[in-house]
Amino acid sequence: MFDRLEWWQVLLLLAPVVLVMSWIKQRELQAGMSSFHNLTPAQKAWIVIMVLPPGVAASLLSQFDEAELIGYVRAGRSVFGSGRNLVRPVLRELMSLLPQELRRKKGESSDLLELTISRAEDHPEKLVRLFRSHWAPPDSRKKPEVKSVHAGPAEPEGAAT
């Protein structure tokens, strides 16, 4: 029976192996990816910034201070897997957070990425404000500086050199 296999017999023998291998690969991919529900606000902002064209992303990033930039980069470092499963829900959430005048208008494209790029190009300061108010990294919250009122021990007279 297995001396000379026909093409359809080879397919029948290999089909279960291929199915099991693809199922294992899919499980491994999902186990290693970040889930939308587990994303922090800063990770969501990082995903939005990374899907923008380089020039638009750079102009947005230039408006953040150093502590915020470091916070976003740290958040971005902990996003695992491909972003294709994360981009759509993050952009949907972004559109729901936008002020009414920046949301999709009648006749505009329904593509979320296109709308986000358009809003980032036309209103970068509003997008930065939205990131700071809703998706700020935890490290960017500045702690008030405590200035010491103690000047230290007084130097004895004549000790100055």
Residue the block writes with tokens 């809703």: 134
The count of domains in the chain is 1
In a domain, 31, yes or no: no
In a domain, 65, yes or no: yes
- pLDDT of 130 above 60: yes
Closest by CA to 47, choosing from 78, 83, 92, is 83
- pLDDT of 77 above 50: yes
Tell me the mean pLDDT in the region 35-58: 90
- The pTM assigned to this predicted structure is 0.66
In a domain, 44, yes or no: yes
Write the CA distances from 149 to 144, 154, 156, integer angstroms: 15, 14, 20
In a domain, 118, yes or no: yes
In a domain, 130, yes or no: yes
Identity of the residue numbered 88: R
pLDDT band, very low/low/confident/very high, at 141 (cuts 50, 70, 90): low
Q: Which domain holds residue 113?
A: 40-140
In a domain, 45, yes or no: yes
In a domain, 95, yes or no: yes
Tell me the mean pLDDT in the region 27-42: 80
Mean pLDDT, all residues of the chain: 81
> Model confidence over 92-126: pLDDT tens digits?
999 889 888 888 777 777 788 888 888 888 888 99
- Angle at alpha carbon of residue 154, lines to 153 and 157, rounded to 5°: 145
In a domain, 104, yes or no: yes
- Dihedral of CA 40/94/118/137: which sign? negative
Cα distance between residue 71 and residue 52, in whole Å? 19
Tell me the CA end-to-end span of the chain in Å, nearest whole number: 103
Note the pLDDT of residue 159. 57
